[in-house]
Amino acid sequence: MGQKQQPSADPRPDNKKKRRVAFSNIDTGIPAKDCIKIYLVSTKEEVGSTDSLCIDPVDLISFFEDEDGKIYGYPGLKITVWFSIASFHAYADIVFESTSDGGKGITDLKSALQNIFAETLVDNKDDFLQTFSKDVNFIGSVVADGEVLHPKASSNGQFNEAKFHLQAANSDLEVIRLPMDKMAGRNLYSRLVPLALLLIDGSSPIDVTDPRWELYVLSQKNNGQTHPRLLGFAALYRFYHYPDSSRLRLSQMLILPPYQCKGFGCFLLEVLNNVAISENVYDFTIEEPISKLQQLRTCIDVKRLQGFSPIEEAVCSAISQFKLGKLSKKISFPPLLPSPEAIEAVRKRLKITKEQFLHCWEILIYLGIEHDKHMEDFILAVSSRMRDDLIGETTDAEGKQLVDVPTDYDQEMSFVMFRSTNNATGVEMEESRANQAEQLKKLVDDRVKEIKLIAQKVSSDQIRSISKPI
């Protein structure tokens, strides 16, 4: 009987190897601030030298928002940007090990850099170096088409070189106004945009097609230089004010980093004050000034107010209130605010807004009182004014609370006030009042510190020391 033959085993060994699955490293990206360095240079010899001035941009994340502020696809990436403050062109030296898509794609570096430097970006290094000779008189040729403005000495608070001890007092400084309805102003501002974006917090380019914009350029002729050099600039907008006037608003102001802390910011701001006065605008305002600019502005305005006779009389009257006895022992006392007539006189003559004048008012009083005798009453007066401003009268303050909130602005000076609509118990109301009092005390303490700081700078003529990035 035959049997079914069973298949014999394969004597050959299994030579097949198991496949190994490898996963590439996920690209976590490089923060733009960690791989980009930007240097300001004034000569071609400075290009390539790390001894040149390296700036600290206010924010690079916004230019890489799609990538969460990071650059992807370039292991070992280093970007060195050289920005000429003579021709106002830029060149980027980009070095990396390789390019690879690690799951986040590959960042378009050229597009990202053009978002910052736009038309100032030069692709070829040799072409960039040639701009130092080709555009050596770029600033001189531009300002030649502008209107030269000169600061004026006056006893009513206008510019006075001796007052502010400008380091640049003996230099040939000029402020030139370039309206945006002319090509010279447009061309210059287009080259200044990268500096505005990198060094002015929260800035965006102005609309150069709007003729109501004006560019003010601070330049220096001599100081060993054959051609004038640009020290700083300001962009102002002229608003219509009914019925037949205008308002000037400072939107951007920058003193270039090599020239900061030398009094040039003070000089430029004083010239702008003079423009507002000589052209009899309604007032002169500043759009969302950062703390450094606000401090400089207040120091200058306090000096101007000290030389304004109607305010001298008002300040003396307010100071006399402190000599009538302890304010803390009185049931009520006047808020020590200037009269409406004084506020209007300051606006008409010095073009200082009511808000800015009131900001300076307490500093003027502080400078006039005897600190060893009247400091307690002065703090009480500041506290009373801030309580009325922020919370209101006692009968109107029930249920109101001050709440700290996360913010991109100065955390110590930011808060939200709201009124609770719920019926609170007696215990809850007491807790609310205690919390309110604690928060108010902190605000008052911060305000008194600010008053003392500015008063010290005004008294010692240290205004130039706060003329930093603005």
Q: d(Cα 132, Cα 90) in Å, to the nearest integer? A: 11
Single-letter amino acid code for the residue at 254: L
Active site residue 119: no
Residue 18 gets which letter from DSSP? P
Q: d(Cα 319, Cα 337) in Å, to the nearest integer? A: 11
CA dihedral 165, 288, 118, 50 (to 10 degrees): 50
Q: d(Cα 277, Cα 421) in Å, to the nearest integer? A: 48
The H or E element containing residue 145 is none
Coil, strand or helix at 229:
strand
Single-letter amino acid code for the residue at 341: E
Residue 282 gets which letter from DSSP? S
Residue 288 gets which letter from DSSP? S
**Phi, psi torsion values for 451, nearest 5 degrees:** -60, -45
Q: Dihedral sign for Cα 72, 78, 84, 90, please.
A: negative
Q: How many CB atoms lie within 10 A of CB 23?
A: 5
Out of 97, 287, 341, 370, the active site residue is 287
Q: d(Cα 363, Cα 311) in Å, to the nearest integer? A: 13
Please list the active-site residues.
287
